[in-house]
Amino acid sequence: MTPPFHVEHIGSFVRPPRLIEAARAHKAGRIDAMAFGVVQDECIRELVAFEEAIGVPTVTDGEFRRRSWSAGFIDAVDGFGLRDGTLGFRTETAVMGVASSPYAKAPLIRKRRIVADDYRFLKSVVKRGVPKVTMASPPVMHFFLGPKAFDAAVYRDREAYLAALTQIYRDEIAELAREGCTYLQLDDTALPCNCDASARADVAARGEDADALTTRYAKLINDATAARPAGMTVAIHLCRGNLKGAWMAEGGYEPIAEALFDQVNVDVFCLDPRPGQHQDAGARDQGRTAPSARRGGALRAARASRHQPAMRLLERRRQRSDVHPG
């Protein structure tokens, strides 16, 4: 089987109680890393068996080895700190608070493999389906703080910072290729949040141009993944944020559609299907599937977006003669 698939699981699975208990025990020093790893392995094996039993074509480890969807990247790279940004989670009736985001307080150094070891174990236990590994997308490491995403004493400007990020991704993707990885999903909250009117106003207030950022992020993703082998499918999962049913952004894809569908060189688009409607966000991260589409077949995802300009762009991309088949 090779992507694209009609349906597949997107995002994390809910952690089983014993995994949560083991994580707390490890943090408190009651069990060591080896014992914690044994629990993680057991829970991942059980999850893989569940995914195979229900017949999803792609199989993930549920991100069971991470504190959160993006923490796997941040924890594996020396030099990151956390700062509060301006964008927070909200519901229809309340604001849930400001989200913290990573920034470079020291030169970034990839101190260990980010997801390649996770993939190695996942591949070893999958008997049916395509093992898929997920990783936070490069723009996530910049968008939410903008000029404050790096200390000026560490990187002279944004381009120097993004160049360092690019090399880290290239190194990790090379490791994944050596492990035989055929499906990598980049999880991106930056691009869809850059569709939100309030977020775009924040970008302008900090002295940046939202449209220029979208174009730069397309190049960043392309540069980071340029050396992937021909047999590795790369998907981008666009998410407006999800924290216990709250979200970070609203709005259709129109502000980013041109760059997203014409410039980002990925094989599969996994789109948040209902712009501005988040009732299903929690359920989706608990194991339901989200629409996915590949270049050459992306119209299905465009229909899910319910956004006519994006649909036209995707149809144009589908018809282009230079579209890579996968």
DSSP for 216-232?
HHHHHHHHHHTT--TT-
Helix residue spans in the chain (DSSP H): 17-28, 33-54, 71-76, 116-125, 158-178, 190-193, 197-205, 210-225, 257-263, 281-285, 299-305, 308-319
- 189: nearest Cα among 147, 232, 135, 264: 135
Which letter does DSSP use for residue 91 in this model? -
* Highest mean predicted confidence (pLDDT) among 86-90, 302-306, 313-317: 86-90
Give CA separation, 206 vs 13, 143, 152, 190, 209, in Å. 36, 11, 15, 16, 9
Residue 29's Cβ-count burial label (10 Å; 0-12, 13-18, 19+) is exposed
Return the structure tokens found at 182: 């055929």
* pTM above threshold 0.85: no
Per-residue confidence band for 161, with pLDDT thresholds at 50, 70 and 90 = very high
- 32-42 pLDDT, tens per residue? 999 999 999 99
Map residue 161 onto helix, strand or coil.
helix
**% of the chain with per-residue pLDDT over 90:** 65
CATH topology of domain 8-319: TIM Barrel (3.20.20)
Kindly state the DSSP code that residue 246 receives in the 8-state scheme.
B
Tokens read off for 318: 């589908």
Look at residue 190 and tell me whether its pLDDT is greater than 70.
yes
CA distance 195 to 253: 6
Q: How many helices (H) and strands (E) does the chain have?
A: 12, 11
